[in-house]
Amino acid sequence: MWSEWWNRFVASDPALRRFRTAVRVVSSVALTLLVMLPTLAWLGLALPSALIGAIVAIQSSVAVNDPTERGRLITTLLMPIPATISLGIATVSRHVPFLTVLIFLVVIFAATYVRRFGVRYFALGFVGFFGYFFAMFLRPTLSQIPAMGLAAVCGALAACLLRFVVLRDDPQGVLERGRRTMRAQVHALLHTVRDLAEHPDSTKRRRELQNRSTRLNETALMLEGTVEQLNGIDEVGRNRLRQRLLNVELAAENLLTPLTRAIDHPSGAVPALTPLLHVLRTDPTEFRKAAKRVAEELERQGSAELAMTVRRLGSAMAELAEATSELGSDYTADESTSEQPEGAETERDTDEQDEPSDSETGLRRPEVRTAVQVTTAAALAIVGGQLVSPNRWYWAVITAFVVFISVNSRGELLVRAWQRTAGTLLGVLAGILVASQVTGYLATELVLILLCLFLAFYFIGYSYAALTFFITTALGLLYGILGSFSVAVLETRLVETAVGAAAGVLAAVLVLPTSTRSVVRSRSEDFLLRLRDLLRRAAGDVEAEGTVSGLREDVRELDDRFHRLRDSARPLTGLRMRSQGSRLERELTMASGCAYYVRNLTVVLGNSVEMIDADTRSRLVELLRCMAEAAAALTGRGTRNFDEIVEDMRERAEELHDIAETLPSGPTSLHRTVYLLDRVGRILHDLGREFGFVERRETEPAR
C-alpha cells in the first residue's frame, strides 16, 4: 500500500521539483528567521524587520529562473538591492499619501516593464514591488531600513545556501529523479489501463488515462532539456538517452489505441482481456506470452479481428515495459565531452528568444502592453481599495498586480482572478479558525506558518487557488504574531482581494485587451509553422544525405508548441466549451494527434529511407515538402491554393502507397511510414476544413 502511494506521489511531481522547491522555500525562511530574530533582539531592533528577510528568501527561491546556474546565483545576490531601495522610497514618501500612490504606480509599471530585458529583471522587478508593498504593510521608520536591508541580505544568502549547496539542482540528480518519475508514471498508467478495462463505460477513467499519457509526455519534455546540461558524456550518450526517453513516451502512447479498440469492440472484449491485465500484477516481461494465449483462445472462438487487437495490445504493453526497463540502464558512451562549447546552446536559445522582440515596438510589445494594463489595474484597485479601507487598500493592489503574472489573455486572467478570490475566501475562513486557536503561542504559530508556506509552494504551478489559500491562512497567523489579528482584518483582506481581482479583469478587458481566441490563433500558427519546419528539415535530410537524423529537437519543439497551444485554450475549454463537438476541442484533438503521428514518423522514417531506391526517396521528399506547404498554407503563408496542395499531397501519397504494396515482404517500415504520413495528411486536411480552407465534404487527402 505504501509503495502504491509513493508511486502516486512521485508520478505527480516530475523529478520532485515542486517538493524540492517547497523544501527550499521553507528552509530558507526558517534559516533567515533563525539568524535574524536573535540578531535583531541583540541589537534592540524591531523583530518584524525579519519579515523582509523571509520575503526576499521566498522570492529568491521561486522567482529566480535564469537559464544558467551562474546567472541564478548572480540574480539571487542582487535581490536585496531593489527590495531595500523600494523599502526606503516607500518609507520616505509615506507621509505624503498622494506621492506614495504615485510612486507605487511608477514602481508597478517599472517592475512589469523590465521583464522585457529577461528573466533576471522579472525577479528583480518582482522583489522590488514586494519591497514597496511590505513597507506599507509594516510601516517602518527610516531608522529601521538598515536592519531591513540586513534582513534582505540574510534572506538572499539563505536562499543561495539552500539552492546552490544543500539542495542543489544538478542535471544528473534531476535526471535520476526524473527517470524514477517516468517509471512511476508508467506504473500508474498501467494500473489505469487495468481500471479502464474493468470499468469500460467510465468516462472519468478514460480521461484519467489520457491525462496520465499527457503527464508522461510533459515529463519527457522536461528531461529532454536536462539532457543538454549533462556533463561527462559525449553526444552519443546524450542521443542514446534522448532515444530512450522518446521510446518510453511513444510506447505509452501506442498502448492507448489498441486498448480502446479492444475495450470498445462490439463483441465485448473485457472478459478476454482479464487474463492479460492480471500480468500487471506479476511480471511485465510476460505480456507477449499472455497476449498470445488470449489471442489464440479468441481465434478458436472465431474472433480473429479481436485476437489481432489483443496481440497488438500485448505487444504495446511489452514494448512499454522494455522501454521503461532500458530507461534505468547505463547511457554513457565514454568519458569524452561534447564538442559543442559550453554555453553555446544557451546563447542560441537566447538569440532566438530575443529575435521576436526586435520586430515589435511601442504598445505592440507584450511587456509594454502588460505594464500599461497592470498599472491601470493598480490605479483602479487603489481607488476601489480606499473606498473599502483607507488603511489596507494595498491588498487590492497586490491582487491586481499578481493576477497578471504568466497570463497571456483576458481569459487566463479571468480564471486566475477567480481562483485567487476563491482561495482567499477559503483561506480567510481557515485563518480565522486556526489563528483564533493558536494566537499567543509563538512557536506553534511559526511552525504552522512554515507548514502553510510549504504547502503553498508545493502546489505552485499546480493550483493557484491552493497557493492563495495557504498564503492567506499563513497571513492570518502572521497577524496573530504581529498582535493585530481580528476577524474584521481578514474580512477586509477578502473584500480587498475581490476589488483587486475586479480591477484586474476590467483593465484586461478595457485597456489594450488581448482576447483568448487571438492568443489561441497565434499559438496555433506557431504549432503549424513548427510542423512546417520539421517536415522541411526531414525532406532536406532525405534528399541531401539519404537518411534522417537530428529530428528529436524538432519533435520536442513541436511538443512544446502544442503544450503552449493547449494551455492558452484552457480558459475556453475549461469554462464553457466542454462538449467534444466544439470546434476548439476538435482542433486541439487534431493538433495532439498530429504531434503524436509526427513523433512516430521520426522514429521509422530513417529505416524507410535506407530501404528504398532513389526514385522512391525522391517521391517521399516531394510528399514531405507538400505537407510542409500545406501546414504553411493553414497559417496564410502558402504560395498555392490549399485545395491544390491537398490534391497534390493525395497523388504523391497514393504513389508511395502503391510502391509499398509491391514489396515482396510483409509490412515494413515503409508501410508504417506511409501510414503515418497518411494520418498527418488527413489531419492537415481536416484542419483546413475547420479553418474554412476547404468545403465540408467527404474528401480524403490520401488513400
Average pLDDT over residues 353-359: 44
Same domain, 115 and 186: no
In the chain, what percentage of residues exceed pLDDT 70? 85
More confident call, 520 vs 694: 520
Distance CA(155)–CA(210), nearest Å, equals: 42
Report yes or no on 564 lying in a domain.
Answer: yes
Please choose, from the candidates 560, 557, 563, the residue with its C-alpha nearest in 3D space to the C-alpha of residue 588. Answer: 563
Instruction: Summarize pLDDT for 470-515 with one digit per residue, the tens.
Output: 999 999 999 888 888 888 989 999 999 999 999 999 999 999 888 8
∠ Cα 63 67 72 (to 5°): 55
CATH number at residue 563: 1.20.58
Chain centroid to Cα 363, Å, comes to 27
Does residue 7 belong to any structural domain of this protein?
Answer: no
Amino acid at 173: G
Q: Which of residues 291 and 671 earns the better pLDDT score? A: 671
Nearest to 124 by CA among 136, 109, 107, 111: 111
555 — alpha (psi -120 to 50), left (phi > 0) or beta?
alpha
Q: Is pLDDT of 456 > 80?
A: yes
Q: Which of 287-296, 343-352, 544-553 has the lowest mean pLDDT?
A: 343-352
What pLDDT, on the 0 to 100 scale, is given for residue 339? 38
Of 577 and 589, the one with more pLDDT: 589
First to last CA, the chain: 50
State the CB neighbour count (10 A cutoff) for residue 474.
24
Residue 247: which pLDDT band, with cuts at 50, 70 and 90? confident
The most confident of 47-61, 174-188, 545-559, by mean pLDDT: 47-61
Please write the tens of the pLDDT for every residue from 103-160: 999 999 999 999 989 999 999 999 999 999 999 988 999 999 999 999 999 999 999 9
52 and 154 together in one domain? yes
Within-domain flag for 339: no
What one-letter code names the amino acid at 427? G
Same domain, 89 and 33: yes
Number of other CB atoms surrounding residue 399 within 10 Å: 29
342 in a domain, yes or no? no
Nearest of 561, 521, 671 to residue 611 by alpha carbon: 671
Q: Which three cell numbers stand for residue 311?
A: 496481440
Residue 561 falls inside a structural domain: yes
Banded model confidence at residue 403, pLDDT cuts 50, 70, 90: very high
Report pLDDT for 347. 37
**Are residue 83 and residue 195 in the same domain, yes or no?**
no
**Structural domain includes residue 232:** no
pLDDT at 38 over 70: yes
Residue 608 is placed in which grid cell?
524507410
- Do 175 and 231 form a contact (C-beta atoms < 8 A)? no
Looking at residue 85, its amino acid is I
As a dihedral over the C-alpha atoms of residue 88, residue 94, residue 99, residue 102, rounded to 10 degrees, the angle is 70
pLDDT of amino acid 474: 94
Residue 225 placed within a domain: no
What mean pLDDT value characterizes the chain? 83
57 part of a folded domain: yes
b (16+ CB within 10 A) / e for 604-628: bbbbbbeebeeebbebbbbbbbbbb
- C-alpha cell at position 160: 543561495
Angle 688-691-696 from CA coordinates, rounded to 5°: 65
**More reliable by pLDDT, 378 or 610:** 378
| More confident: 518 or 336 | 518
Q: Is residue 577 domain-shared with residue 525, that is, in the same domain?
A: yes
Do residue 581 and residue 508 come from a single domain? no
- Give pLDDT, residue 502: 96
pLDDT at 532 over 70: yes
pLDDT of residue 120: 95
How far is 630 from 531, CA to CA, in rounded Å? 10
Residues 585 and 678 in one domain: yes
Residue range 614-626: average pLDDT?
91
**Side-chain half-sphere CA neighbours of 20 within 13 A:** 18
Distance CA 165, CA 383 (A): 46
| 449 shares a domain with 571 | no
47 vs 699, higher pLDDT: 47
Q: Hey, is 422 helix, strand or coil?
A: helix
Measured at the CA of 146, the angle between CA 375 and CA 109, to 5 degrees, comes to 10
pLDDT of the residue at 244: 80
Report the pLDDT averaged over residues 340-367: 49
What letter does residue 341 receive in the DSSP assignment? P
Domain total of the chain:
4
The predicted pLDDT at position 505 comes to 94
Residue at a domain's end among 307, 327, 347:
327
Let me know: does 311 contact 295? Beta carbons within 8 Å. Answer: yes
Query: Judging by beta carbons within 10 Å of its beta carbon (0-12, 13-18, 19+), is residue 654 exposed, middle or buried?
Result: middle
Question: Which pLDDT does position 21 carry in this prediction?
Answer: 93
What band does 304 get if pLDDT is binned at 50, 70 and 90?
confident
Of 572-586, 655-669, 680-694, where does mean pLDDT reach its minimum? 572-586
Same domain membership, residue 557 and residue 589: yes
Same domain, 531 and 680: yes
Whether the per-residue pLDDT at 359 is higher than 60: the answer is no
Give the residue, 316 or 652, on which the prediction is more confident. Answer: 652
Enclosing domain of residue 395: 371-514
Handedness of CA 409, 415, 419, 425 (dihedral sign): positive
Closest CA to 702 of 647, 620, 629: 647
145 and 272 inside one domain: no
Domain end: 481, 514, 547, which one? 514
Task: Kindly report the number of other CB atoms within 10 A of residue 5's CB atom.
Answer: 9
Contact (Cβ atoms closer than 8 angstroms) between residue 160 and residue 73:
yes
Q: Among residues 147, 169, 191, which one ends one of the domains?
A: 169
Residue 591's alpha-carbon distances to 251, 563, 597, 605, 631, in angstroms, are: 19, 10, 10, 20, 11
Same domain, residue pair 561 and 655: yes
